Every structure is written in C-alpha cells, then in structure tokens.
C-alpha cells in the first residue's frame, strides 16, 4: 500500500508542478486507424489555459477506416481539401514554441506523428530495389552525398529525391 501512496502522491506533485509552471501545451490526434500504416487525419494543440493553438483536419495518404470514422466521425470526404501533414506539422512546431508538450497517450500519438512523416530512406531503398531476403524488405541504402552534418544530409536527401523524380 505504501508504494501506491507514493505513486499517487508523485502523480499529484507532477500535476501541481506542471500547472504552476503554466508553460505547456496538450496535443491530441485522430487517425485513419490503429495499424502501423495509419496516419493522422486531425490534430489539435491547446495551451495551459485550454485555448486552441492548432485545430486542423489533415489529408492523410491512406483512407480513413470505417472503424476509425465510427469513433471520431471523420471521413475521407472531410479531409479531401485539408492540408497535408507536412504543412500542419510546421504550424504545430510554431504553435508549440518552447513549451513542454503533454500528450495523454504519447506512445500512440507520437507513433502516428512518425507514421505521418514520409521516410525518404524507405522510398529510396524501394527505388534502388535491392531486396533483403533475411528481413523481407528492401535493403536500406546509405545516403549518397551525405556528410553527417544536418545541412549536408538535408541537401543530399534533396538530391536523392530529385534523382528518383528524374528517373523513368
């Protein structure tokens, strides 16, 4: 019982400290489903007073499942003209600023954020087409022209995207 009281008191202390600092935002997402290919179809961020800093539908690259629509009421029709995640993500970063981020189910929502960001390495590996029998997918490719600096690797990624786009 002592352990439970300690955990209980720790939770109270965490909440009190968070509210005392008053420098946080709360994020939540709604998604196209629950699988590892699903994406965000709505995202919201409120400040510590509960005022919305961001509330946007998001146009995913996959369809919204019937099961997900039944829960949150969002259908593919609602997100047809919504911005893509990349555009909304920039708004999210601006709105968040340097505040602490609180998410009720952070493991799920951060996974969905990750799944809504496009991985150029995966697409480039598919483009190169070198199959890895052991892992049953395309072999990850080194970033051609990357120099392990953030700017250099960004430029190398852009070059890879241009290379793929120029191929026939």
Asked if residue 90 and residue 138 are part of one domain, the reply reads no
Asked if residue 95 and residue 35 are part of one domain, the reply reads yes
- Identify the pLDDT of residue 2: 54
- Identify the pLDDT of residue 40: 96
- Identify the pLDDT of residue 98: 93
Asked if residue 65 and residue 141 are part of one domain, the reply reads no
Asked if residue 98 and residue 31 are part of one domain, the reply reads yes
Asked if residue 86 and residue 138 are part of one domain, the reply reads no
- For range 57-80, the mean pLDDT: 97
Asked if residue 91 and residue 27 are part of one domain, the reply reads yes
Residue 54 lies in domain: 2-116
- Identify the pLDDT of residue 16: 93
- Identify the pLDDT of residue 34: 95
Token digits for 117?
Answer: 């960001």
Task: Give whole-number Cα distances, 24 to 8, 101, 104, 108, 117, in Å.
Answer: 22, 6, 13, 19, 24
pLDDT at 27 over 90: yes
pLDDT band at 153 (very low <50, low <70, confident <90, very high): confident
Q: How far, in whole angstroms, is CA 126 from its chain's centroid?
A: 22
Asked if residue 162 and residue 91 are part of one domain, the reply reads no
Asked if residue 132 and residue 110 are part of one domain, the reply reads no
pTM (whole model) above 0.85: no
Asked if residue 141 and residue 94 are part of one domain, the reply reads no
Asked if residue 132 and residue 49 are part of one domain, the reply reads no
Count of structural domains within the chain: 2
pLDDT tens per residue, range 5-20? 688 898 889 999 999 9
Q: Select the more confidently predicted residue: 3 or 126.
A: 126
Asked if residue 87 and residue 54 are part of one domain, the reply reads yes
CB atoms closer than 10 angstroms to residue 88 = 20
- Identify the pLDDT of residue 4: 63
- Identify the pLDDT of residue 56: 96
Answer with the one of 74, 98, 116 that is the final residue of a domain. Answer: 116
> The CATH number of the domain where 53 resides is what?
3.30.420.10
pLDDT at 147 over 90: no
Within 22-166, where are the H helices?
66-72, 76-79, 85-96, 106-116, 120-128, 150-166
Average pLDDT of the chain, as a whole number? 91
pLDDT tens per residue, range 97-129? 999 999 999 999 999 999 987 788 888 999 999
């Amino acid at each position: 019982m002592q352990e439970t009281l300690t955990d209980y008191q720790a939770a109270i202390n965490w909440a009190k400290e968070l509210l005392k600092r008053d420098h946080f935002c709360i994020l939540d997402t709604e998604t196209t489903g629950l699988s590892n290919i699903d994406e965000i179809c709505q995202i919201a961020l409120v400040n510590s007073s509960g005022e919305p800093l961001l509330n946007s539908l998001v146009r995913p690259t996959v369809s919204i499942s019937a099961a997900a629509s039944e829960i949150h009421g969002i259908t593919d029709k609602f997100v047809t003209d919504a911005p893509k995640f990349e555009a909304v993500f920039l708004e999210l970063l601006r709105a968040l600023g340097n505040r602490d981020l609180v998410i009720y189910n952070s493991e799920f929502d951060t996974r969905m954020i990750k799944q809504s960001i496009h991985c150029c390495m995966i697409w480039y590996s598919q483009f190169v087409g070198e199959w890895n029998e052991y892992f049953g997918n395309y072999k990850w490719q080194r970033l051609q022209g990357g120099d392990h600096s953030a700017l250099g690797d960004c430029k190398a990624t852009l070059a890879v995207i241009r290379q793929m786009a120029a191929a026939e």
